[in-house]
Amino acid sequence: MPTKKKLPKVYTGIRKRYKKLGTAVDNLGKTIRTLGPISSKNSHLIQLAAAAAIRSEGAVHSHVRRAREEGAKSEEIYHTIILLTSTIGFPAVSAAISWADDVLEEGK
C-alpha cells in the first residue's frame, strides 16, 4: 500500500531551485531500475543497504518508503539492514534501524 510521502525540506528546496536537476535525478533512478532483472522492490532494498552503509539518514528514509510502496514488508526491510552487521558494524546498523523506525512507525 502506498504511503503518503513527506519529503524533506532540503530535497524539495533543491528541486524547486534546480528543476532540471530534479528531473534528471528522477529519470536516472527510473531508468536504472529498468536495465536489469532485479525487481523494483529488491532494487530499493539494495539501495537501502547502500544508504545504511554510507550512513545517509535521508536515503534510508527514502528507500524504506519506496521499498514499502513496492510491497516490501517491515521484516524484509529490517532483515536488509541487519544483514549488514558483519560488514558495516553494529553501531551503523543500529542507526539505520532507528531511521527505518522513523518511517515504519509513522502513522501508527
What pLDDT, on a 0 to 100 scale, did the predictor assign at position 103? 95
> 9-104, what's its fold?
AhpD-like (1.20.1290)
d(CA 19, CA 101): 31
What residue ranges do the domains of the chain occupy?
A: 9-104
For the whole model, what pTM was predicted? Answer: 0.85
For residue 5, the model assigns a pLDDT of 63
Q: What pLDDT is attached to residue 107?
A: 61
Burial 78-100 (b: 16+ CB within 10 A, else e): bebbeebeeebeeebbebbbebb
* Residue 48 vs residues 23, 32, 68, 100: alpha-carbon distances, Å: 21, 15, 11, 9
Which pLDDT belongs to residue 1?
36
Spell out the per-residue pLDDT of the chain, length 108, in tens. 344 567 788 888 999 999 999 999 989 988 998 999 999 999 999 999 999 999 999 999 999 999 999 999 999 999 999 999 999 999 999 999 999 999 999 866
Task: Find cell 550512513 and name the residue.
Answer: 55
Q: How far does Cα 5 stand from its chain's mean position?
A: 12
